Structure 1
């Protein structure tokens, strides 16, 4: 009986220890998310003017996803897509959320997020930085799966001495915002080093305003004569673009320096091997590309604005779904389980992070969730599968202009239809015109018109699949014609 009792007690001891041992083997996740970062705004992308040694270090030791896109090139919709794995129109978030004019707007509190599923599976979770999915308490980040939050619920704050929410209270801080956001993330990682954790580091940088920033970040760019994107429009305000580019690059440098702090702490805590580090952005950005500045809601950067062509779009605006707005710099590193120093080419979107991160953490997606994103874990592990490389993108701009753009992109062709402004359709042959300079929408080539019809049909089918409210308006307009 004594021996049997010892065996039973030993088994009980194993059972008590086993859950924590299993948890300890789960990967930590550090999700670094910048704001307004152009796909060309890193060193590893080949930019000759910009030095990002720490981001490049991450790229060299991880996997670069070369064809990574957002499905909506503006802040709040992109963030909604990231956390839910669904299109933002499905939640009624069409444009960036204006904190004063749209105080009641935010992400549906019933939405299932991947950070909530990680939290339920035993992960300690933290968001440090920008939220921008609703300012009311019912939209607070802690509702969606974060144990802790430090940062801003709205869309922006100054780059220095900001007011940040800490422990539920708005507190005036001293220091640079990018550093303060990192400080909190590092503290959280240190406190939670003995349990699986998710820390989302959502920088406001390199969103404007870019200055002031630390002298070490500004000094390399103070006198830079940056190379401009080609071709250069004859009426481009060159000096203004160059000045803004210098300041923008300095802001990127601030992010890079703090990425180094994160990577160094992971090394110091001996967590690097079993920590998934993701680096990406909410959307791309124009730094003079197409003579524009900003993202999907871009402004012209010409000395004289073009004539207004559409009643619902002012002269200074150029709403767009160019690749420069949609493509995002993206890296993932997990030394223990994924190849290092590689680049993968399949097309992925921000919606794909939901199933992919859960898959990497060995957590099942709940049945009936109807995610729009797809698990691209097999490609990360070097497998070749029949992955569809098409991308569906959308942007219903409501601040500064009124557009309803929908896009279907393949590796060769891209169609953008603006259902709110007749005559704004765009068709590009990406294989021969990757810069999207020649709009073929009026081409009389029968093969081009066949492509147009095929892609437009795909867009309409997608509207039906998503039950997009835009479809009702289109049907009413078609009946009235």
Structure 2
């Protein structure tokens, strides 16, 4: 019989079979461990620090976000680099403070022709794409209306949503922040027209993206427009809150709709077997707009924090943030380490930036950055916000509004009710020196 024929085969024992099976299983586990995780980033719009059950709300119903907090890490000192949406989104996508992105305030109609996120600033989507990820944006853009600034030119392989800042959720016509009175809805690079309540359509689109993308990895940025005004929700979302004051019921319905979208995304991931291979981050671009819209001030909540959108008080810049990172975060963990939206480019996309740090140590239970300094500068003449500066380091925060200096001890006084500069002159002076040095380095 020639060598290698049937009679030359070596019998395989049961033990050998088990060893081979274990080797195959081990190789599969190793491949799974090496597989790049999917990354889903969900950004709410104007969601206040106290608007979720896991952050103390007694009126809003947010079971899916509360469950996400229980499954992962909840941040109690997570900040936006700006108290308004456009610069906050610029900071999130570039890892840079607003003054380095070309977007320092809300993009409005006067910016339609040329304003937008600096073309010299690569985005998180650019970094993910270079790492072999498919990239998608579903929802609100608000970083430039003209063609060179649009999502498909800024690292995203696909886009479904609207370009401007605010739309009517039923007609999808712009009510501000670009192309007022016109539709700004796009699918890919082409204008698109849809019918229905936009937040519901968005949730369905996110689920379809997950279900149609089994070839991993992907980066999905869901820029959800709620609970930003206008105050609109279908009857099905309002009905559970009928006992409330009417406007408050609509706001609670909008928060519930946002929460349900997070739940739908999770369910889609679980159905497709992707839940334990996906990093899920939920955050808000800034605090609730109670200072800008006095009639609607009681609707949203910044919890115990003072101020709101358009201000550098805590209520304008500190917002909810939840992270579930399989194999890294621990269920029910909470961190008080200061962080902000600029940190997510280095943390998730692995690209170092001037204004962000890698939070993987914090995600795993560490305390990196606990004593870091965070800086802000902001002004908006339309809503009469004077030139304002702030720096936070450790428990101390120095705030300068219209030239008036205040110092707060955030550990003892989270609501910023007591100016303690007179009692701590050395600390106030040190922080002001740091702030001035930072301002001098700005473009």
Q: What is residue 15 of structure 1 aligned with on the other side?
A: none
Q: What is residue 183 of structure 1 aligned with on the other side?
A: 204
CA contact (8 A) 2:371 2:394 kept: no
Cα distance, 1:454–1:189 mapped onto 2, change above 3 Å: same
Q: Deviations over 1:399-418 (max 9, x none)?
A: 33253211012343221113
Cα distance, 1:126–1:101 mapped onto 2, change above 3 Å: closer
Gaps of 5+ in 1: 4-17, 226-242, 287-292, 304-316, 360-364, 470-481
Deviation at 1:357, TM superposition (A): 0.4
Is structure 2 residue 197 aligned with structure 1 residue 223?
A: no
Q: What is residue 62 of structure 1 aligned with on the other side?
A: 72
User: Counterparts of 1:336 and 1:97 in 2: how far apart (Å)?
Assistant: 39
User: Counterparts of 2:161 and 2:328 in 1: how far apart (Å)?
Assistant: 32
1:2-13 to 2 correspondence within 5 Å?
none
Q: Deviations over 1:267-304 (max 9, x none)?
A: 10010001001111111115xxxxxx15xxx355699x
Q: What is residue 361 of structure 2 aligned with on the other side?
A: 378
Cα distance, 1:106–1:384 mapped onto 2, change above 3 Å: closer
Cα distance, 1:402–1:323 mapped onto 2, change above 3 Å: closer
Q: Deviations over 1:87-134 (max 9, x none)?
A: 111233221100345531101122112221111111011000001000
Is structure 2 residue 427 aligned with structure 1 residue 436?
A: no
Cα distance, 1:402–1:61 mapped onto 2, change above 3 Å: closer
Cα distance, 1:207–1:302 mapped onto 2, change above 3 Å: closer
1:283 paired residue among 283, 286, 300? 286
Aligned residues: 397
Runs of 4+ in 1 over 4 A off after TM superposition: 21-24, 299-303
Q: What is residue 86 of structure 2 aligned with on the other side?
A: 76
Is structure 2 residue 193 aligned with structure 1 residue 192?
A: no
Gaps of 5+ in 2: 5-27, 173-182, 298-307
1:395 paired residue among 349, 366, 378? 378
1:327 paired residue among 314, 318, 328? 318
Q: What is residue 253 of structure 1 aligned with on the other side?
A: 256
Q: What is residue 344 of structure 2 aligned with on the other side?
A: 353
Q: What is residue 44 of structure 2 aligned with on the other side?
A: 34
Q: What is residue 333 of structure 2 aligned with on the other side?
A: 342
Per mean C-alpha deviation after superposition, the further-off stretch among 68-77 and 337-346 is 337-346
Deviation at 1:390, TM superposition (A): 3.3
Q: What is residue 17 of structure 2 aligned with on the other side?
A: none
CA contact (8 A) 1:411 1:431 kept: no
Deviation at 1:61, TM superposition (A): 1.0
| Aligned-partner SS, 2:275 | coil
Q: What is residue 8 of structure 2 aligned with on the other side?
A: none
Cα distance, 1:23–1:397 mapped onto 2, change above 3 Å: farther
Q: TM-score if structure 2 supplies the norm length?
A: 0.83
Deviation at 1:144, TM superposition (A): 1.7
Q: What is residue 314 of structure 1 aligned with on the other side?
A: none
User: Counterparts of 1:302 and 1:262 in 2: how far apart (Å)?
Assistant: 30
User: Counterparts of 1:338 and 1:450 in 2: how far apart (Å)?
Assistant: 38
Deviation at 1:161, TM superposition (A): 3.6
2:406 paired residue among 426, 434, 439? 426
User: Counterparts of 1:349 and 1:59 in 2: how far apart (Å)?
Assistant: 18
Per mean C-alpha deviation after superposition, the further-off stretch among 124-133 and 155-164 is 155-164
User: Counterparts of 1:267 and 1:318 in 2: how far apart (Å)?
Assistant: 35
Q: What is residue 414 of structure 1 aligned with on the other side?
A: 397
C-alpha RMSD of matched pairs (Å): 2.7
CA contact (8 A) 1:395 1:404 kept: yes
Cα distance, 1:376–1:191 mapped onto 2, change above 3 Å: same
CA contact (8 A) 1:23 1:195 kept: no
CA contact (8 A) 2:373 2:392 kept: yes
Q: TM-score if structure 1 supplies the norm length?
A: 0.77
CA contact (8 A) 1:346 1:389 kept: no
2:388 paired residue among 405, 410, 429? 405
CA contact (8 A) 2:337 2:368 kept: no
